[in-house]
Amino acid sequence: MDFGPHLLLAVLEGAVGAAVLALTALGLSLVFGVMRVVNVAHGEFFMLGAVIAWFVATSIGGHPAVGFVAALALAPLIAGLVAVLVDRLILKPVKYDPEATIVGTIGVLYILQQTALMTYGPEARPVEPPFSHRIALPWFEWGENGFAMFYPWGLSTNSYKLFVIGAAIVILLAFWLIMTRSKAGLIMRATQLDRETALAFGIPVSRVYSIVFGLGAGLAALAAVLIVPIQQAHYLMGHDPLLLSFIVVIIGGLGSIRGTVLAAVLIGMSDGIISVFLSPTLSKIIATLLVALVLVFRPQGLFGKKPA
Amino acid sequence: MSIGTRSTFLHLGLIALLFVLAFVLPSYHQGNLARIMVLATYAIGYNVLFGYTGLLSLGHAMFFGAGMYGLGLAMQYGGLGVIPAFAVALICAAALSAVVALLALRTIGVAFMIVTLMFAQAGYLTVLYFGAWTRGDEGFVIAQSARQIAGLDLTAPTTRYLAALLLFSAALLITARMMQVSFGSVLIGVRENEERTRMLGYDVFRHKLAAVIISGTISGAAGAGYAVLFGYVGATFTSVQYSIFPLLWVLLGGAGTTIGPLVGTLFMFYLIDYSSGLTNAYMLIAGVVLVLLTLFARAGLVGEIRKRWVAWLP
């Protein structure tokens, strides 16, 4: 394959990664923005979503689409409920002290991960996609007969991958509408801006915190359900999304939701593209160091305005 | 007795007790305790930064790894003896911690934790990237014949135990002394109220810098000690998990106490040792302990004892 078609393929792969990353990082960013809590267990809620999707899909049976739709509804719900429980039992009693919440969520990370190991097991298991058609992609080139369109061998994508990108865009838009146009969004933004004043105006801040923590985990789980037909469900799969989400939230500016989405697209796309052309380990080293340096020299992130 | 004399007696007594245990314990527990003392040295290093200075790092595995690979690679490819290789390890750890400190100390709070986590992740990936020399996850074994100092065979159980004790005692006495002089008091001042310490005229940045370097170097010494005493160097020791462990040990034993790191490491080691016989998900125990400590015993075991009964504990 020539360079051009190869790049197109890399861009498509990158877009799928970016779509899933945007949803996952949005959850982390929401929790940090509203609650000022760094949820180290965020990746495990992602893993939880994938594992629940596998359990739901295998226990329902029938056409894969039925199991997939059920998982799409159930996995975020269950992950969200677990998160609400974590908020009530651990984060609220330590009064959201930054250090204690980090140590506590590290504990939650291992509890969730190891519980998955004990119940789901160490195997990686696939979930069947609800639909999957090979779509050959055309390529345009100046050939002997002038400008021509043809279908190079190997240049194809999958209808399910396109669905993932579309679904992520729809979810992001819905999230944006909720945050900016609904009363629930108004309450969340008020709590983010000034917790004390929100409390004085009768906003049940502690309930808002629980819901936000659950919503953040639910977004991660939702992203995992979308990706699990492409990747496989595994009990250690939460590690990479966690680090990538950290990176995205930092680059986008801690707590800035618009910045998070922009950064997710940037990082997800470049991750997809770079890993096609460079050694993945080397590109990860460079990316990790760059992000650390961004945090050192520009703590408000690349898109953030005021210091966090 | 003044508090200073009491703590000196406590530390010397503890070292004497560990020395006697070398000849009393059955060989299985003697081997365990040697390992625990090396890991407790790591915890002591972590405690300098976390317990005394109040900086939570999530990347100490890179310092442990710098010592481990500094010694391991110097012995494996440089053909150095144990003592020169140990010096190389200390230099590596000190240099790495100085560089990391100069960058990471520009940030505070949550950003400091994430920056250290990122640097450590980059370190771990670097070890994997140079797999041709480091052998990546698989790691490499340091030959038994090389692990000798002037005819003393460090692979013999009792010699190994005493070498671990020497390493542990050095770290314990150095940090204990450090906390008795004014330098230590300034570190605690930084932990309790950074602004006020600065207002009193102390150079906060320099003290923090020194704390990171001391902490990183002790952690590196522990890494080098682990490599030479147990003969194995592997990438696992630079992974996130090994950055979390010292945090867990110090929190369990008691942050900001001199003997807390040993107590925490001892408890956690045996807890994991027993539970790994029951299930392969032994890290579950670590998670549960972390959550319980966060909720009920923020001061850790020794910290709670100090709070309730023995106020003079160092």
> Residues of B numbered 198-217 whose beta carbons fall under 8 angstroms of chain A's beta carbons: which are they?
none
- Report pLDDT digits (tens) over A80-132: 999 999 999 999 999 998 888 988 999 999 999 999 999 998 989 888 888 88
Residues from chain A contacting residue B279 (CB–CB below 8 Å): 118
Q: How far is A294 from chain B (nearest CA, A)?
A: 9
* Beta pairing partners, B152: B149
| Three-state secondary structure string covering B173-192 | HHHHHHHHCHHHHHHHHHHH
The two three-digit tokens of residue B160, written as one number: 């190994």
Which three-class secondary structure state does DSSP give residue B216? Answer: helix
From residue B187, alpha-carbon distances to B51, B101, B196, B211, B294 in Å are 10, 15, 12, 8, 23
Asked if pLDDT for residue A189 goes beyond 80, the answer is yes
Check if B283 contacts A (Cβ < 8 Å).
yes
Query: Sorting pLDDT into bands at 50, 70 and 90, what band is B65?
Result: very high
Query: Sorting pLDDT into bands at 50, 70 and 90, what band is A307?
Result: very low
Q: Closest to B298 (Cβ–Cβ): which among A98, A100, A295? A: A100
From residue A97, alpha-carbon distances to A102, A128, B187 in Å are 9, 42, 22
Which is more confident, A301 or B55?
A: B55
Is B294–A100 a contact, with Cβ atoms under 8 angstroms apart? Answer: yes
Check if B78 contacts A (Cβ < 8 Å).
no
Q: Closest to A104 (Cβ–Cβ): which among B103, B122, B290? A: B290
Q: How far is B130 from chain A (nearest CA, A)?
A: 10
How many Å apart are CA A171 and CA A265, to the nearest integer? 15
pLDDT of residue B313: 83
Q: What is the mean pLDDT of residues A59-66?
A: 84
Residues from chain A contacting residue B113 (CB–CB below 8 Å): 38, 102
Which is more confident, B15 or A253?
A: B15
The residue of chain A nearest to residue B105, with distances taken between CA atoms, is A296
Query: Sorting pLDDT into bands at 50, 70 and 90, what band is A308?
Result: very low
Q: How far is B94 from chain A (nearest CA, A)?
A: 20
pLDDT of residue B263: 93
Check if B115 contacts A (Cβ < 8 Å).
yes
Asked if pLDDT for residue A143 goes beyond 70, the answer is no
How many Å apart are CA A111 and CA A48, to the nearest integer? 12
- The least confident of A186-200, B225-239, B296-310 is B296-310
CA dihedral for A174, A180, A181, A185, sign (positive or negative)? positive
Write the CB contacts of B204 (distance below 8 Å, at least 6 apart in sequence): B190, B194, B197, B198
pLDDT of residue B272: 87
How many Å apart are CA A247 and CA A238, to the nearest integer? 14
The two three-digit tokens of residue A234, written as one number: 């595994």
Q: Which residue has the tokens 């329902």?
A: A60
Asked if pLDDT for residue A52 goes beyond 50, the answer is yes
The two three-digit tokens of residue B102, written as one number: 């100069």
Asked if pLDDT for residue B48 goes beyond 90, the answer is yes
Domain ranges, ordered by start, for chain B: 3-239
Is A103–B290 a contact, with Cβ atoms under 8 angstroms apart? Answer: yes
Q: How far is B73 from chain A (nearest CA, A)?
A: 21
The residue of chain A nearest to residue B126, with distances taken between CA atoms, is A285
pLDDT of residue A1: 54
Which is more confident, B8 or A153?
A: B8
Q: How far is A115 from chain B (nearest CA, A)?
A: 7
Check if B289 contacts A (Cβ < 8 Å).
yes
Check if B122 contacts A (Cβ < 8 Å).
yes
Domain ranges, ordered by start, for chain A: 28-234
Closest CA to A43 of A58, A21, A65: A21
How many Å apart are CA A265 and CA B160, to the nearest integer? 53
Q: Closest to A288 (Cβ–Cβ): which among B118, B281, B298? A: B118
pLDDT of residue A252: 83
Check if B125 contacts A (Cβ < 8 Å).
yes
Which is more confident, B110 or B268?
A: B268
From residue A126, alpha-carbon distances to A56, A229, A242, B155 in Å are 12, 6, 21, 46
Write the CB contacts of B206 (distance below 8 Å, at least 6 apart in sequence): none
- Report pLDDT digits (tens) over A232-244: 899 999 988 998 8
Closest CA to A94 of A82, A107, A81: A107
Query: Sorting pLDDT into bands at 50, 70 and 90, what band is A287?
Result: confident
Is A110–B286 a contact, with Cβ atoms under 8 angstroms apart? Answer: yes
Asked if pLDDT for residue A170 goes beyond 90, the answer is yes
Check if B276 contacts A (Cβ < 8 Å).
no
Asked if pLDDT for residue A254 goes beyond 70, the answer is no
Q: For chain B, give the mean pLDDT.
A: 91
Q: How far is B120 from chain A (nearest CA, A)?
A: 9
- A166 exposure class (CB count in 10 Å sphere: 0-12, 13-18, 19+): exposed
Is A38–B114 a contact, with Cβ atoms under 8 angstroms apart? Answer: yes
- Report pLDDT digits (tens) over B204-218: 999 999 999 999 999
Check if B102 contacts A (Cβ < 8 Å).
no
pLDDT of residue B136: 82
Q: Closest to A285 (Cβ–Cβ): which among B122, B240, B282? A: B122
Residues from chain A contacting residue B122 (CB–CB below 8 Å): 285, 288-289, 292
Asked if pLDDT for residue A305 goes beyond 60, the answer is no
Q: Contact, A191 vs A205, CB < 8 A?
A: yes
pLDDT of residue B89: 96
pLDDT of residue B153: 84
pTM above 0.80, yes or no: yes
Phi then psi for residue A243, to 5 deg, are: -65, -45
Which is more confident, B175 or A130?
A: B175
